[in-house]
Every structure is written in structure tokens, then in C-alpha cells.
Structure 1
Amino acid sequence: MDRFVDFRDLWTGIAGTNEHQLAERFAFVAWSIWHIRNASRLQKPCLPFSSIYRDSLERFLEFHKARRQGQPETQMVLDLKPPITTSYWTPPQTSQFKANFDGAVFMDSQMAGIGVVIRDSGGHVTSALSERLFLPSTVDDVEAVACRKAISFALNLGLDNVVFEGDSETVIKALNFNVRCLTSFGHLVDDAKALVLNFCKFFFFAYKTDWEYCC
């Protein structure tokens, strides 16, 4: 069994493995431990520590299930026509980091979840987080919250050259345009624009589109 001297060493070991989605699952578990510890310290109701892994795994699966909702089912009939465009995740350039952010909506519980995964130029996960929040008004509101969290997360990690990538073209365009955003998430856009000024260089990219902005 590997032995780790501290949390950073543990995270480095996890990020360096090839096990599928291990880093993402670890992020859910780590956040649950932190959340339950704070709730216990403040004497608020919380899950017992023995239930952390099971609860974290359920939320991890729920998050990915919500992401898949609305996507077309796999066709059983083979389509011989090649797709017009094909999208692939690409790593950032050398000395850059890429922060992928996403949101999921859980209508049954009136909650939403956001996730951020940061990778280096080799495609290795270096940091990740996930959070739950009360359900905002729209899906774009959730995406805007996730984007703002990705920016603040990257700042807290001391990164200075970051590509921020999400799948909401509406939010990305609002961040790109140098005009006041009058949507329900306009205040989040304004806050995000102010935060990114702390980076030496940053990019906004909407996944599955050709829309990109850098500064």
C-alpha cells in the first residue's frame, strides 16, 4: 500500500493513477469530509462519517446521470454517414492549465450541483472540486455559478495562465462581450470579469463551439 506524507502527496498519487474517474470520485469524498467536519463543528445535523463514501458515490453518480439527461439515446441503427463535426477534449498548451466547469440540475430535490476539474498540459488532473447549491432560476444560472467558482478556485491555487472551458455558449459569450449583461446571471458575469483580471493570461472557451476569447 502506498504511504503519503500529506494531503498534497496523496492528491499527487491519485492524480497520477490511470484508474477511470478516480480523481473525480476522490474530489466528491474530500468535499463531503470537509462539509461534514464543518457541520459537526457548528453542531449542525450531518451524516455519520461511516456514510461518507456511500453518499459521495451516490452524488457522483447522480451528477453524471443529470449531465446525460437530455442527450439523445444511442442509435441502434448504424449510420454510415460521417458526422459533420466531431468534438474532442484537448489539453492546454505548455505552461497553461485548463479548468473545465459544468453544472447539473436535480429537479426532484430542487438542488443543483457544480463541478470543476483542472488539468495541466499533459492532461493530468491537478485539482478538482464539487459543490451543491439551491436550484437557481435557469440552467445558465447554474453554469455561470460554476464558471465563477472555477475562476476563484484557479486563483486560490495560484495559477496565472488558465483556459476556462464550459458547455454554455450563452455564458461564455456574456463573458466575452465587453458590455453589461442584463440576464439573471449578469451579476455573476460581472464578478467573474473582475476576478479574471488577476490572471496574467486567461482564455474562455465554449466546448463544442468555435467561440474563444483570450486576454
Structure 2
Amino acid sequence: MDVWCMGSRTLQESKFTGPNFIQVVEGVLAKCSTDEVKLFVGLARRILLRRNEVVHGGDLIHPSVLLRLTTNAITEYHLATATEEPAQVSIVEHPSRWMAPYAGWLKMNWDAALNHSQGYTGFGLVLRDSRGHLVAAQCVSKPGVLTPSGAELTGALMAVYFCKSLGLTRVQFEGDAQAAVDDINSSVRDMSSLGHVVDDIRTELQGVSLWKFTFVRRDGNRAAHLLSRFAASYAVDKISCDTPPVWLRDIICLEQIAPGE
């Protein structure tokens, strides 16, 4: 009740009761606006997560913090979906949001971030299945600041090695660096200083015929982007997590329920 009383006036003043949660939800859908329904869903999920964290020895988060986290998540979702391209643009080739791979495939999103002030480069890897569920995630920071192109290609190589270590055969690698994806998919030999990294990636791809690289806009690569920034900011050696932190779970959850193209 401490959490609900901080929500909208409709949620504060209305009493939704019933023998089961389904009827409570039906009451909310009948009496609340779309924005209020979003707030109800977000707060209900936050209450459940807070309960689980307390049961397993975590701290009890203040109701005002739950409300702020929920409203921030809703705002991020609106920002992510407000920039979708018109239907006539090739959205399938260059989507503006995260889209699940085909059934039987996995999608590996990767990204890199630079921390010039502390002298670190961070990498974020997020592996999900065709339902959008997290399979594995990893963030790594390395000393030294690479060039943007070098960081993105190094992150792509790390993603390939990570999937190879898991023995995966059907993987779509997706990143928001158009130049890196184009270099990897090109049939022309890369004669630049980063050519050896591109060669290593192509060699690994030849060993698994069903691996492919695709480009996505930044809004469709948020989970990996946030992990790479976390790694660059906190200089972590390597963190692999099957159970992601709350802030990453929120992004993955929102991308799962985002409307289809």
C-alpha cells in the first residue's frame, strides 16, 4: 500500500479487489487510462522483484525509489519506440529496436565503450533466445583506450569467441557499428591496421556456416550498450551473469514486450 499510494490518483483512490490477480488486472484495465495501466504493470513487477530480493537477503527498497525506477523505465521505453522509422524504410535490414531472432536461433548483441578519463575500454555482450529471454551476458574492461573502430571490432571478436566457447551453431551477431558490420561481411581483404582483427572474425565465421553479422541502430542495442558503459566505468576484469542486475533486466523485459514491426 505504501507503493500504490505514491502512484496516480486513480490507483490511490480506487480499490481493485477480487479472488485472484486476473480480476484485479481486469478492474485496472476497465477503469484506468493507458498510461495508468503502464504504471500499474511496472509497479506490480517492481513490488514482486523487491519481495524476491528481500527474501534472498537483499535490502528493502524505499517506495519512492520503486516509483522513480518504474517511471524511468516507462520513459526509456517511450523514447526507444518514438524514433521508429516509417514503414517504407527498410526496417527489417536496419531495425530501430531489438527484434528476436528466428526460432531455433540465438542473438548476440555486442557493444564497446571508451573511458578516456580512466583509460579503459569496456565491452558488453548479451545473448538472448527467440523469445527474448536472456541466455548469457558478459562485460569486460581492458586497460587502454582503443579507437572507436578498433573497440567495436574487438568487441565483435570477443562475441564470436564467447559463442564458440558455448558450442553454439545458429547465432545472429548484432551491433550498432555499421562500419564494423560492413567490414566483417565484405569479401574484400581489409588492408588497414585493423585487418588482422577482421581476418580473425572471418576465419571463425567460416567454421560455422549459420553464423551471421547484422547491423541495428543504437536503440536496438541498449542492453549491450549499457553493459559496455558499466564495464568501462567500473574497470571490471570480467563478469559473466546468467542472472542480470535489475537495471539490465528492465531493459531486456521492455524489449521483450515491445510491439512488433
Task: Give the structure-1-normalised TM-score.
Answer: 0.57
The change in CA–CA distance for 1:111 and 1:96 in structure 2 (over 3 A counts) is: same
Write out aligned runs for 1:6-45 (5 A): none
Aligned position for 2:224: none
**Deviations, residues 83-102 of structure 1 (Å, cap 9, x unaligned):** 64571110110010000000
8 Å CA contact retained: 1:141, 1:184: no
Gaps of 5+ in 1: 1-17, 23-73, 75-80, 210-215
> Quick check: which one's helix share is greater?
2
Aligned position for 1:158: 167
The change in CA–CA distance for 1:83 and 1:187 in structure 2 (over 3 A counts) is: same
8 Å CA contact retained: 1:160, 1:201: yes
2:185 pairs with 1:176 = yes
Structure 1, 197-206 or 149-158: larger mean CA deviation: 197-206
2:153 pairs with 1:144 = yes
8 Å CA contact retained: 1:105, 1:135: no
**Deviations, residues 177-200 of structure 1 (Å, cap 9, x unaligned):** 111112332111100100112224
> Quick check: which one's strand share is greater?
1
Partner Cα distance (2:83, 2:215) in 1: 23
Gaps of 5+ in 2: 1-44, 50-75, 77-81, 87-94, 219-261
Aligned position for 2:217: 208
Aligned position for 1:97: 106
Identity %: 29
Give the structure, 1 or 2, with the largest relative contact order (CA under 8 Å, sep 6 or more).
2
The change in CA–CA distance for 1:180 and 1:84 in structure 2 (over 3 A counts) is: same
Query: How many aligned residue pairs are there?
Result: 133
Partner Cα distance (2:83, 2:175) in 1: 26
Partner Cα distance (1:162, 1:107) in 2: 32
Task: Give the structure-2-normalised TM-score.
Answer: 0.47
Partner Cα distance (2:146, 2:186) in 1: 22
Q: CA deviation at 1:103?
A: 0.4
Aligned position for 2:55: none
Partner Cα distance (1:182, 1:137) in 2: 18
8 Å CA contact retained: 2:116, 2:145: no
**Deviations, residues 104-133 of structure 1 (Å, cap 9, x unaligned):** 100001110001110001101101111111
Aligned position for 1:197: 206
Partner Cα distance (1:151, 1:205) in 2: 13
Partner Cα distance (1:185, 1:110) in 2: 20
Aligned position for 1:11: none
